Amino acid sequence: MKALIIDDEDLARAVVREHLAAHPDVEVAAECANGFEALKAAAQYQPDLIFLDIQMPKLDGFEVLELLEAEGKRPAVVFVTAYDQHALRAFEAHAVDYLLKPFSKERFDAALAKARALHAAQPAPPPAAELAAAARQGRPLERIVVKDGPKVTVIHLERLDWVQAQDDYVLLRTEGKNLLKQQTLASLEGQLDPARFIRIHRSYLLNLDRLVRVEQDTKEHRDAILRDGTRLPVSRAGYQRLRELWEGA
């Protein structure tokens, strides 16, 4: 098996490398200190297995997996993490193995054995978004990653203006740019903070911080007017959601 070690801590990578030295059937193709290095190494080496930290700067472990999925890559994964036990139950439920720092050689060998078995059986691993949602335990997303060819854009949600459904994609409007991401609007809506983002129309999610007012042109037609002058349609159900928020504020 060809493996990548992905962790922003030098010592953590060294521990994994040392344990792997006892397993000559596993070749360490590369070590990566952040998510961007991991994406480049995955494209270059096509690993069968990755040892993946979750809490990393720039891109976290779930975002790395999501971007690999977008490229059609689904290597076996052993998470190497300092996540608490409550969140780790979510990994167990989704049949993903993990190593909780600090870990013993015996625990490492057990995780590697499971990764070997999963790699041999080649089951379809759970989507990265599903794993991330389970680990967050109901906490909303803080940022969205979008890959366009070799370019990766990280959108912090305070910079996201609105989202439009486009078949199996969403168009994300941020800082004057439009970015496309392969995800449904309903799926993204379920990951966002409902106090910040609201479905104003079957095709639109709006960052409430961008809303200036709602204008009614006709009895059946309303528009949301945003800070930059953008007009977005507001459905009857969307207007009701807005009214409920205003009345509850």
List pLDDT tens digits, range 40-81: 999 999 999 999 998 888 898 889 988 998 888 888 889 888
Query: Does residue 210 sit in the same domain as residue 132?
Result: no
Amino acid at 240: Q
If asked whether residues 76 and 196 sit together in one domain, one would say no
Q: What is the pLDDT of residue 248?
A: 67
Residue 17, C-beta contacts closer than 8 angstroms, at least 6 positions apart: 5, 28, 31
The pLDDT score that the predictor gives to residue 220 is 78
Pair (39, 127) in one structural domain: yes
- The answer to whether residues 49 and 130 belong to one domain is yes
CB < 8 Å & 24+ apart, contacts of 161-170: 161/206, 161/207, 161/210, 161/226, 161/228, 161/230, 162/204, 162/205, 162/206, 162/207, 162/210, 162/226, 162/230, 162/232, 163/188, 163/197, 163/204, 163/205, 164/203, 164/204, 165/202, 165/203, 165/204
| Residue 122 and residue 38 share a domain | yes
Domain housing 29? 2-136
pLDDT score, position 95: 54
Last residue of a domain, one of 109, 136, 163: 136
Residues 10, 128, single domain; the answer is yes
pLDDT interval class at 132 (50, 70, 90): confident
Query: Once rounded to an integer, what is the mean pLDDT over residues 124-133?
Result: 74
Query: Is residue 83 over pLDDT 80?
Result: no
Region 216-233: what's the mean pLDDT? 91
Q: Are residues 16 and 130 in the same domain?
A: yes
Residues 107 and 214 grouped into a single domain: no
Is the pLDDT confidence value at 200 over 60?
yes
Cα–Cα dist 199/117, whole Å: 43
- 173 — pLDDT class (breaks 50, 70, 90): very high
Q: What is the CATH number of the domain that holds 55?
A: 3.40.50.2300
Give residue 136's pLDDT. Answer: 74
| Of 108, 136, 164, the domain-final residue | 136
- Whether residues 121 and 165 share a domain: the answer is no
Measured between alpha carbons, how far is 223 from 54 in angstroms, rounded to an integer?
41
**For residue 6, pLDDT beyond 90:** yes
Q: Domain count of the chain?
A: 2
Domain C-terminal end among 136, 163, 195 = 136
Question: Over the stretch 95-111, which tens digit does the pLDDT of each residue have?
Answer: 568 888 999 999 999 99
CATH number at residue 160: 2.40.50.1020
Q: Are residues 112 and 217 in the same domain?
A: no
pLDDT digits (tens, 9 = 90+) for 140-153: 888 999 988 888 99
Question: Quick one: 41 and 15 in the same domain?
Answer: yes
Q: Do 117 and 177 fall into the same domain?
A: no
Mean pLDDT estimate for the chain: 89
Which pLDDT score is estimated for 123? 66
Q: What is the pLDDT of residue 135?
A: 75
Higher pLDDT among residues 211 and 81, named by residue: 211
pLDDT (tens digit per residue) in 23-40: 999 999 999 999 999 999
Asked if pLDDT for residue 18 goes beyond 80, the answer is yes
